[in-house]
Amino acid sequence: MNTKRKLQIEQLDKKFTILKKCSEVITPSKGWLFAIRNTLNMSLKQFGRKLNITAQSAKEIEEREQTKRITLKNLSEAAEALDMQLIYFLIPKNESLEKTIEKRAREVGREIVLRTSHSMSLENQENLPERIEKAIEDKAEQLKNEIPRFLWD
């Protein structure tokens, strides 16, 4: 793996470690906009006025957030109207980018080796399970280091 890519992965993984704590926060059932507006004791009419829209449109924005059909632009504008800041981020499901890459490299490595192994068995050149497992590990390591684009196909 080239130094630049390795550094990028390390830097993002470091950020993800910090952000992981935020992912444990549970979104209010009616959404953040409703929860904050309601806690501030702000009416829909007042909220709408801050957004230069009707109370009904403000209610629709809250509903779109709740159903995850809101745009980031609209969410950002609504947050601003509530004197809030929208913070947006993604975090890996597999602990880190490095783990995500390792997992996918192992999957693709297995596919490649087993495909080759199958061809060899058709020609009566079957490999032992230990050799196949070693070949999978080697291929996965190579893919992890190179991170070729086809890894994500």
Quote the pTM value: 0.77
Q: Does residue 13 contact residue 19 with C-beta atoms inside 8 Å? A: no
Is the domain of 134 the same as that of 97?
A: yes
For the chain, 153 residues long, give each residue's pLDDT as a single digit of tens.
Answer: 788 999 999 999 999 999 988 888 999 999 999 999 999 999 999 999 999 999 999 999 999 999 999 999 999 999 999 999 999 999 998 889 999 999 999 999 999 998 887 665 545 566 678 888 999 999 999 999 999 999 999
Structurally, how many domains does the chain consist of? 2
Q: Is residue 119 included in any domain, yes or no?
A: yes
Print the domain residue range for 75: 31-90
Q: Is residue 71 included in any domain, yes or no?
A: yes
Calculated CA dihedral for residues 51, 52, 55, 57, nearest 10 degrees: -80
